[in-house]
Amino acid sequence: MLLKNTSLYFVGLFILLPTTLVTAIFAPMGAVYALAMLVEHQFETAAILFAVITCGSAGVISMWILSIHFKNNTEKSLSALAHCMALLGGSAVSIWFVIYSGGTLMFRLLFFGWPVLAALYFFWRLLVYCVNSPP
C-alpha cells in the first residue's frame, strides 16, 4: 500500500503537475490559433488543432481523476472505458508531438514523451482495479 501511494505521489509531482502546467499555458494559445485558422479558412488545420487540444486535455483530466481516485481509495465506480479512451487520446497526442515536432530526438522524447509514461502507469492501475473489483 505504501509503494502504491508513493508511486502516485511521484507520478503526480514529476509528471502530472508539469503536464498540467504546460497544458494550462499552451491549450488556450492553441485554441486562439485554431480560431485564427478558422477565420483564414484553413479548416483542416483548425480541426486537427482542436482535436489535439481536446484529446490532450482529456488525457490530463483523466489522469488527475484516476490519481485522486487511487489516492483516496474510493469505492466509487470508475468508467474504465472512458478513462482508457482519454488516456489513449492523450498518449496519441504526446506521440504525435514526439514524431512531428522539431529538435533532436532526445529533446522530443524528454519533453513530449514523459506523459506517455504516466498514461501507461494509469493504464496498469486501471487494469488492476478492474480485475480486482467485483462485477
Residue ranges of domains in the chain: 2-132
Confidence label for 53 from pLDDT (cuts 50, 70 and 90): very high
Q: What does the H/E/C string look like for 34-67? A: HHHHHHCCCHHHHHHHHHHHHHHHHHHHHHHHHH
CA distance 10 to 16: 9
CA distance 120 to 90: 11
User: What cell numbers appear for 124 in the block?
Assistant: 496498469
pLDDT given at position 130: 87
Q: What percent of the chain has pLDDT over 70?
A: 96
| Tens-digit pLDDT profile for residues 67-85 | 999 988 877 778 899 999 9
Identify which has the larger pLDDT, 32 or 4: 32
pTM (predicted TM-score): 0.90
